[in-house]
């Protein structure tokens, strides 16, 4: 997020882990404005079912902007059922090119239980390495923890929950109130 436009806004850790035929997306619930926690129980991970296909999306950044992007993604998925990569690329193109969308301040992790993508306003649609993706203020902490935990015997949910706890212990803009969605 641009500190010029949104001074003092920080927040969120979203993590996706693929393991053992499952994909888990976990997000914390903290919303902060500067040094103040405004809310501790926000839901930043959502399940969409366009055309009967389950897709889970986690978002970091401005909530209103993220919801605008979720609505656009849902329309893209309805017009290309079962084609997550295509829908994400189309969303990223619109996001980068459209005068209105270009100003939206958010990032998304999107999965259909098979593929995982990080979608940004810079036009990026990134597929993570090592079956782990993370975004947000505590994203790097959660990513590092999850990658380390992939060597353990934990299942996808166990890795996600443990990594999110580590991120919450380190990042002041992340808490332990998790929303967890599982596909697969």
**Residues whose CB falls within 8 Å of the CB of residue 11, separated by 6 or more in sequence, listed in order:** 30, 31, 32, 60, 136, 137, 173, 174
Q: Which token pair is 18?
A: 């693929």
Catalytic residue among 12, 13, 174, 179: 12
Confirm whether 12 is a catalytic residue.
Answer: yes
- The CA distance from 104 to 92, in Å, is 12
- The CA distance from 182 to 101, in Å, is 29
Q: To which residue do tokens 């790097």 refer?
A: 140
Catalytic residues: 12
């Amino acid at each position: 997020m641009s500190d010029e436009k949104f001074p003092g806004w920080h927040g969120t850790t979203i993590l996706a882990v693929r393991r053992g035929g499952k994909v888990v997306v976990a997000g914390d619930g903290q919303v902060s404005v500067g040094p103040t926690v405004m809310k501790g129980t926000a839901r930043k991970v959502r399940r969409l079912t366009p055309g009967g296909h389950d897709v889970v999306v986690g978002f970091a950044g401005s909530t209103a902007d993220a919801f605008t992007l979720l609505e656009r993604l849902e329309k893209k998925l309805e017009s290309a059922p079962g084609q997550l990569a295509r829908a994400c690329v189309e969303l990223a193109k619109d996001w980068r090119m459209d005068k209105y969308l270009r100003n939206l301040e958010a990032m998304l992790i999107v999965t259909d239980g098979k593929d995982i993508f990080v979608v940004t306003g810079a036009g990026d649609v990134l597929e993570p390495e090592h079956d782990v993706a993370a975004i947000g203020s505590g994203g790097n902490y959660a990513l590092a923890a999850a990658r380390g935990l992939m060597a353990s015997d934990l299942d996808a949910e166990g890795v996600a929950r443990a990594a999110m706890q580590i991120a919450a212990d380190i990042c002041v803009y992340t808490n332990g109130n998790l929303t967890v969605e599982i596909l697969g």
